[in-house]
Structure 1
Amino acid sequence: MSQVQDFLVELGTEELPPKILAKLAGAFHDNITAQLTDANLSFEDSEWFATPRRLAVRVCQLQTRQADKTMDRQGPAVAAAFDADGNPKPAAIGFAKSCGVDVSDLNRVATDKGERLAYQLNVPGQATTELLPAIVEQSLKKLPLPKVMRWGDSSVEFIRPPHWLLMMLGNQIVDANILDLTASNQTFGHRFHHPEAITINDTNDYEQLLLEAKVNVSFESRKATIRQQVEAIAEQQKAIAVIEDDLLEEVAALVEWPVALTGNFDKTFLQVPSEALIATMQADQKYFHLVDNNNQLLPQFITVSNIESRRPESVIAGNERVIRPRLADAMFFYQADCKKPLAGYIDKLQSILFQKKLGTLFDKTQRVKHLASEIAGQLNADKALAERAAELCKCDLMSGMVYEFPELQGIMGRYYATNDGEHADVAAAMDEVYMPRFAGDQLPETKTGIAIALADRLDTLVGIFGIGQAPSGAKDPFALRRAALGTLRIIVERELPLDLSQLIDTSIESFGDIIEQPTTKTQLLEFFAARSLAWYQDKGISTQVIQSVTELNISQPLDQDRRIHAVAEFNTMDAADSLAAANKRVSNILAKSEVSLDDLSVDQSLLTEQAEKTLHQDLSNMADDVAQHVSNADYTKALQQLSSLKMVIDNFFDNVMVNAEDPSVKNNRLALLKQLRDMFVSIADIALLQK
């Protein structure tokens, strides 16, 4: 049995970019384990470590040598390997030489192409220590580095200058030179608390020795420590700490030994919208903010230091000095912006290009105004409010605050519109136009906000598709996939009876001669169908169920949604498989018909078999009810009623010959099947559910 040892590699560097630290460490780990697997080296477990100054991977119970293996090689055909006297030709001699043996040592094997020369090579496994240097080097080269750098007069490139390399298999140093560093068994502790070298004699001591040197190498452990410290401080302050995952991840990537401290800022700054203050604290200083039980921002913050200071009050005072001018800047921008109404920026939108062929932001808002008014009318909302909101919805992009903090677009527009005395729905719509901003985000609440959120997205979709710049592959610079999904979510989750086909037509009209693609509408509806398919698949609905509805080319997302959920429920019924198969059979029969089905109708006098009479009677009895359910969009009840036909349909196919010799009888039965098929297809193409 092969021996096993733990393998540890650590690369020490200058401070690594915090926003990609975890990604780099994970990739380093994945690259190493993948190459170990490719090299047929087994191991039990593996883990990665990361701090601002190091990337490390530990592989547990790694096989210390590859297993020996045999390799069967086939050479030339025997007929081509020897002459008439049995002497080896060059082909045989060359093959033997490549195997490291004489021709006389070669074997012969029978193959589909005749007898061939062959040889079984015994390949001894390599020691793992011989393979690890190349594995680690290749793993580093394959890291997803956004940008590399060189230092001094070295030609070596990496994301940051490296300083040390630790590589050990068990208690043995792996002989390697990577990035101009010679591997050793030494690492280094905290830059200030323990800058001296630390010798690792056993890979299992790695974490503990670094903890003693004020370095917590476990990324997840540091995150947990930060969360615990921040929440403890908040509890002391009788407040609630808001800990966003992205910020927590970034802070954990900035410190090796986290120490949370709380500071204060002047209450005067609370006059500024809280979102602006929070953006300042998070983006610039990486602070966690505190709120009260009513979710109101408090004039306090929590910073996470990378040092355990003997004078923490000095660290706090320094942070308070730093944050004050930044908050003062935010107050200045806000107060300056409030001096000018949002409407005062409308004309300036003419100087900002939205897209070269689609015009300026002003042009866009005018198109959005037209479409939003149409949508508002269909929703029985106030058209005037929708038009006003459309005119103003991009104006906050011209403000000083949004210029400084682009992520506050819409949010600041809401504050400025409120400050200007705009209608409450118009003010809310300034923010709602961007909802949902991401997957799972909240949707607009007001009808005005809904109207411009839809109009803004549809205008972008129609415009970009219309000039032939639809997304391809992974490229989607205008975030059209997100816009389409947001449109679907708003319409479906807000239960809006809107028709995408009609709205696209209205939007196309507003572009005039700008639209270059005659197939814009068709392409867009197909694009929405693809987004819809992915959306419902993410919800766990089967592709067959989704396609049974999308096959009908319904352009009303809410109606489509109701059908899909009704079919999904129907698909769980015992009768579903049989009815799907029957519908498939009916479709095939009707497809082969040589007469025009639209001209056929059922003649009761031609119904001779009891099974077809019963089917016709049952269809006639439920036709009005099913039609009423479909009219009311109660597709679940309609399918439940149709499911009662299972036995009747089975009996029909067991006892009735559709292709009767008498053409009149045959056509009459085709008309009956068409009636059955039409009733199901008024809801979905159930035939596509057949497994």
Structure 2
Amino acid sequence: MIKQNLLIELGTEELPPKSLKKLAVSFCENFEAQLNSANLQFDSIEWFAAPRRLALKIHNLDEQQADKQVEKRGPAVSSAFDADGNATKAAQGWARGCGIDVTEATRVKTDKGEWLLHVATVAGKNISELVEGFIVQALKQLPISKPMRWGAGKEEFIRPVHTLIALYGDKVLPAQVLGLTSGNQSQGHRFHHKDLVTISHADNYQNELLAAYVMVDFNQRQQTISQQMAVICKENKANTIEDNDLLDEVTSLVEWPVALVGTFEERFLDVPPEALIYTMKDDQKYFPLLDTNGKLLPKFIFITNIESKDPQQVISGNEKVVRPRLADAEFFYNTDKKHTLESRLASLDTVLFQKQLGTLKDKSERIAKLAGHIASQINADVTLSERAGLLSKTDLMTEVVMEFTDIQGVMGKYYALNDGEDSKVADALYQQYMPKFAGDDLPTSMEACAVALADKFDSLVGIFGIGQHPKGDKDPFALRRAAIGIIRILIEKELPLDFKLIAEFSAELFADKLSNDKVIDDVIDFMLGRFRAHYQEQNIKVEMIRAVEVKRPTSALDFERRLKAVVNFAKLDTAVALAAANKRVNNILSKNGQSEFVEIDDALLTDAAEINLVNKLKAISGSVNKSFDAGDYQAGLNQLADLRDVIDSFFDDVMVMADDNAVKNNRLAILGELQRLFMFTADISVL
């Protein structure tokens, strides 16, 4: 069978840079699914993406589907013919549907009788018949939230489309997609090669576009950018800030990347570097340069989409563009320093946190009280924690943060130091939002931890307290992120705090603002649910997490210790047998009610197996309880693992539901003690 490379390209107006890579990968996965569904064989598929195109190359694709045999079973022979051997109407109707005469049918015997059968050969379709449907379906499934229309047509896509290539080897395959007819012409570079480029063969796609100043391979383009920046860094004895999202975005903005370096006046370095970095990266898509000590230099790298004969003109243009932005940051910063953070507290009363929960000033006052309460339990300075909590939102009212919202907290630190606040207060303002994302740093000082926890608990309790739980992917107050942040801080900082008690204290601070009577239970349930997400990222099995969830521990550190013990226990050779035995114990006890249990009476022990089990329990229970009380769940479970043999013997040799009621209850009491010990850490039966 003939095999050729298939090229698909959709030429468009400039695609959204933050979505380009996602669109390309999705297009590739969708098209591959179509090929697999059609049982077309190919070696591999690769995607290409540039600002004005999405493309795929399918390597060594079969030209045609293989023929296949399709069996169509008819009526049973017993009902297909009458007494004279003539075909019944049922048989004739089936034969017509198959396009044959009844006499042409074969027969198949099964254990339920003999049936008429027709085996048809269905010829495979050529790729030229299939490609249009593949493209249409692959594009239809792209993650496009707001498609647009253009011109007078009714077609919709994320951007207007101009060209469509469907090339199998050097043959154009017929297709009508989004109002376009397939051909073999692609768009060249918008400035360097304005004419269309004829692609002579699917194999020549990349090279022929390279000649037209289009580097269509996204990864090649990104590697080129990285290499060019590395050369600039070496020449300037500098480094850039690693930012994969920015690198992806810049790669999506250019077809022919050329990295250049620009400069700005050193006086701007008096402004906090975070503000300068923010405006360069987020507003201008520039890469700031740092010296070998990590200090910001008055230089930046930018990626242009043209190979200019006079690069200095391009550099000057970019320097002129960024200078007003830096000047704004400088002006705002100097203006802000004229007012203390404390003087801005009153202005927080003009901004709502949430209409039922009050203003940002209300929130700040609650955070201050809750931070002090937490600080008193974690050996942090209560006064400094309260002070940081009170000032925590004041930098939101500064000009710099209003202009550059992503550096809230960061600017709070600089203004606090300018105001003469304690350095621990300043650091707490900087770190209050940590961790912002998975893998982000945690607050360093205990005072910062107290403020960060207070801020997150205030949001959790407040929003749950008015019944606005996160639903689906809607989480406007980022409560999931807040809960994960709380869990990480409590575990990684080894803070033995009870989040139920903290939530209760927080709820009291809202006075009569909360309308949900079950707010504490809802917060606990939500927190416990976040443990699953937190630990699944660490590849811990769901059943192990569930085993601990059953106990509903309200200390994150305690949850961590229990889970580690369960994970370790599950590695033991005895784990499976003991988990099964515990399940059996739980089933027996649940059917018989524990209210009738009595203390184990040695006088009622008759069988050797139950005597051995009770003796073993007595021998280790003291040590096990001591381990559990100390929070050393792992040691306790490891000791319980030694019970396997005596538990197995008990179930093999002893009838728990004895006729004698006293003996039965005594044996149930033995099971009750077993359950108590094994269930203390987690529900081992879940394993």
Using structure 2 for the length normalisation, give the TM-score.
0.93
Residue of structure 2 equivalent to 1:294: 293
**1:630 — aligned with what?**
628
1:97: Cα distance to partner? 4.9
Partner in structure 2 of residue 215 of structure 1:
214
Listed as ranges, the gaps of 5+ residues in structure 1 are: none
CA contact (8 A) 1:597 1:674 kept: no
Q: Which AA in structure 1 matches 2:472?
A: G
In the TM superposition, residue 448 of structure 1 has moved relative to its aligned partner by: 1.9
> Measured at CA, do residues 110 and 653 of structure 1 come closer, stay the same or move farther in structure 2, by a change above 3 Å?
closer
Shift in CA distance, 74/640, structure 1 to aligned 2, threshold 3 Å:
closer
1:363: Cα distance to partner? 2.2
Query: What residue in structure 2 maps to residue 371 of structure 1?
Result: 370
Q: Number of residues paired by the alignment?
A: 687
Question: What do you get for the CA RMSD once the two structures are aligned?
Answer: 2.7
Output the CA distance in 2 between the equivalents of 1:41 and 1:581. 47
What is the correspondence of 1:112-511 to structure 2 with a 5 Å cutoff?
119-511=118-510
Matches within 5 A, 1:602-613: 602-613=600-611
Per mean C-alpha deviation after superposition, the further-off stretch among 42-51 and 111-120 is 111-120
Instruction: Point out the more displaced range, 581-590 or 322-331.
Output: 581-590
Distance 1:539 1:216, change over 3 A: same
8 Å contact from structure 1 (residues 262, 300) kept in 2: yes
TM-score (norm 1): 0.93
**How far 1:441 moved relative to its partner?**
0.7
Q: Distance in 2 between matches of 1:357 and 1:107?
A: 77
Report SS of the residue matched to 1:192.
Answer: coil
Looking at structure 1, the residues matched to 594 and 246 of structure 2 have their Cα atoms a distance apart, in angstroms, of: 68
State whether residues 435 and 442 of structure 1, in contact with CA within 8 Å, keep that contact through their aligned partners in structure 2: yes
Pairing 1:550-561 to 2, within 5 Å after superposition:
550-561=549-560
Q: Distance in 2 between matches of 1:586 and 1:76?
A: 55
Instruction: Give the Cα–Cα distance (whole angstroms) in 1 for the partners of residues 240 and 683 of structure 2.
Output: 52
In structure 2, how many angstroms separate the alpha carbons of the residues matched to 1:397 and 1:596? Answer: 58
Q: 1:50, CA displacement in angstroms?
A: 0.8
Asked if 1 retains the 8 angstrom alpha-carbon contact of 2:237 and 2:292, the reply is: no
Deviation at 1:194, TM superposition (A): 2.5
Secondary structure at the residue paired with 2:18? Answer: helix
Match of 1:641 among 639, 645, 655: 639
Q: Give the equivalent residue in structure 1 for 2:542.
A: 543
**Amino acid across the alignment from 2:544:** V
Q: Which residue of 1 aligns with 2:677?
A: 679
Separation in 2, partners of 1:242, 1:20? 22
Per the TM alignment, residue 592 of structure 1 is displaced from its structure 2 partner at its CA by 4.0
Alpha-carbon distance between aligned partners in 1 of 2:24 and 2:365, rounded to the nearest angstrom: 48
Q: 1:660 to 1:249 in 2, by over 3 A?
A: same
Deviations 1:10-63 (A, max 9, x none): 122221111111111112222222112222222111001111111111111111
Moved more, 117-126 or 409-418: 117-126
Q: Match of 2:19, SS?
A: helix
Query: Does 107-116 or 551-560 show the bigger shift?
Result: 107-116
Report the CA distance between 1:547 and its aligned residue: 2.4
Amino acid at match of 1:647: D
Shift of 1:370: 2.7
How many Å apart are 1:259 and its aligned residue? 1.0
* Structure 2 counterpart of 1:149, one-letter code: M
Q: Counterparts of 1:200 and 1:595 in 2: how far apart (Å)?
A: 80
Quick one: which amino acid aligns to residue 641 of structure 1?
Q
Tell me the distance in 1 between the aligned counterparts of 2:166 and 2:574: 64
Does residue 590 of the first structure (1) align with residue 607 of the second (2)?
no
- How big is the shift at 1:311? 1.2
Which one is further off, 496-505 or 531-540?
531-540
SS at match of 1:18: coil
Q: In structure 1, how many angstroms separate the alpha carbons of the residues matched to 2:547 and 2:26?
A: 41
What's the CA shift for 1:456? Answer: 1.5
Distance 1:677 1:90, change over 3 A: closer
After superposition, residues 33-112 of structure 1 pair within 5 angstroms as 33-73=32-72, 97-101=96-100
Counterpart Cα distance in 1 of 2:266 and 2:672: 75
Q: Counterpart of 1:633 in 2: which secondary structure? A: coil
**Structure 1 residues 644 and 12, CA, compared in 2 at 3 Å: closer, same or farther?**
same
- After superposition, the Cα gap between the structure-2 partners of 1:141 and 1:416, relative to the gap in structure 1 and judged at 3 Å, is same
Secondary structure of 1:61's match? strand
- Partner-residue secondary structure (3-state), 2:253: coil
Change (3 A) 1:612 1:164: closer
TM-superposed deviation, 1:269: 0.4
Output the amino acid matched with 2:224.
T
The DSSP-based 3-state class of the residue aligned with 1:378 is: coil
**Residues 676 and 316 of structure 1: CA distance in aligned 2, closer, same or farther (over 3 Å):** same
Deviation at 1:244, TM superposition (A): 0.8
Evaluate the alpha carbon distance shift between residue 75 and residue 641 of structure 1 in structure 2; reply closer, same or farther with a 3 A threshold: closer
Q: What percent identity do the matched residue pairs reach? A: 50
Moved more, 79-88 or 177-186: 79-88
Q: Distance in 2 between matches of 1:616 and 1:81?
A: 73
Letter in 2 for 1:48: W
CA contact (8 A) 2:48 2:217 kept: yes
Aligned pair in 2 of structure 1 residues 186, 385: CA closer, same or farther (>3 Å)? same
Structure 1 contact 498–556 (Cα < 8 Å) conserved: yes
**What displacement does 1:73 show?**
3.5
Moved more, 471-480 or 203-212: 471-480
Matched position secondary structure for 1:10: strand
Change (3 A) 1:571 1:315: same
Question: SS in structure 1 opposite 2:9?
Answer: strand
Return the offset for 1:103.
6.3
Q: Tell me the amino acid that sits aligned with residue 395 of structure 1.
A: T
Query: Mean Cα displacement is larger for which, 372-381 or 230-239?
Result: 372-381
**Structure 2 unaligned regions, length at least 5:** none
Letter of the 1:227 counterpart: S
Counterpart Cα distance in 2 of 1:205 and 1:154: 33
Which residue number corresponds to residue 3 of structure 1?
Answer: 2
Q: Distance in 1 between matches of 2:467 and 2:112?
A: 55
CA deviation profile, 1:304-327 (whole Å, cap 9, x unmatched): 111111111111111111111111
Deviation larger for 431-440 or 347-356: 347-356
